[in-house]
Amino acid sequence: MVLAVRREINLDHAKIIVHIYERFSTGWSPRTIARELNEMGVPSPRGSQWLQSAIYGDQDEGTGILNNWLYSGRYVWNRREWRKNPDTGKRTYVQRSKSEWVTTEMEELRIVSPELWEQVKARQALLRSEQGERVKLGLRAASASASGCSTGMGSKYLLSGLLKCFQCGVNFVMHSATSYACAKNIHGGHAACSNHYRLPRRKV
């Protein structure tokens, strides 16, 4: 029976965390950071290669390296709960309402300085704003197309997810408007998967 848990900072891991925050705050993309860490031979939290998703995560849910409140000296619990699917019998995590979250200040566990944390949050906010503008433009274009103001149709990549990398087995996804590529190579770099082949869409 576990009676209590004591959290301590792993100094080696803390250096990597700070490195990621510093890189991102100065303009590096999560994808570029992941590639650098893979080339350096730094294992990911799960012991495999780094991918950009592990770094950027989901800001609203507090997932990903850049959104872990514990690195800022705050422990947030009661965020999720296990629920059983009545049809499958499997248990899955379900996000609770933010009003149910409980935050405890734990300054002794801080890894990232307040200044660096705020710099990262400011850049995330800027990127989210820019992304929102792109979504708005896309919706306007789709609306114009539906109303007959545009003759073009949105691209649909029907083979994405069906093509597999012969080297690592993950999906081939759109790398550009004209080619497919291994998702792990795109997001994790050569160290994650050395298959850098770009499959022409026309050939597919």
Q: Residue 172 domain-assigned?
A: yes
Residue 54, Cβ neighbours under 10 Å: how many? 23
pLDDT at 72 > cutoff 70? yes
Nearest to 59 by CA among 30, 83, 36, 22: 30
Cβ–Cβ under 8 Å, residues 24 and 33: yes
Confidence of residue 3 (pLDDT cuts 50, 70, 90): confident
Q: What is the pLDDT of residue 73?
A: 94
Assess whether pLDDT exceeds 90 at residue 153: no
Do residues 31 and 111 both lie within one domain? yes
Q: Is residue 55 in a domain?
A: yes
Residue 140 lies in a domain: no
Is residue 166 assigned to a domain?
Answer: yes
* pLDDT of 129 higher than 50: yes
- What is the pLDDT confidence band of residue 146, given thresholds at 50, 70 and 90? very low
Q: Is residue 197 part of a domain?
A: yes
Which residue shows structure tokens 């800022």?
A: 72
Which tens digit of pLDDT belongs to each residue from 183-200? 888 878 888 888 888 988
If asked whether residues 102 and 183 sit together in one domain, one would say no
- Looking at 121, 146, 169, the residue that finishes a domain is 121
Which domain-ending residue is among 79, 106, 121? 121
Look at the chain and report how many structural domains it folds into.
Answer: 2
Same domain, yes or no, for 49 and 110?
A: yes
- Confirm if 174 and 200 have CB atoms less than 8 A apart: no
Domain that holds residue 53: 11-121
Q: What pLDDT is stored for residue 2 in this prediction? A: 74
Indicate whether 41 and 84 sit together in one domain: yes
Pair 109, 169 in one domain: no
- Mean pLDDT over 86-95 rounds to 79
**Residue 132: inside a domain, yes or no?**
no
What pLDDT, on the 0 to 100 scale, is given for residue 110? 96
Boundary-marking domain end, from 121, 140, 164? 121
| Residue 141 pLDDT level (bands cut at 50, 70, 90) | low
Pairing of strands 74-77, 179-182: unpaired
CA dist 36 to 39, 42, 44, 57, 99, Å?
Answer: 5, 9, 12, 18, 38
| Domain at 83, CATH number | 3.90.1750.20
Q: What is the mean pLDDT of residues 78-86?
A: 78
pLDDT at 152: 44
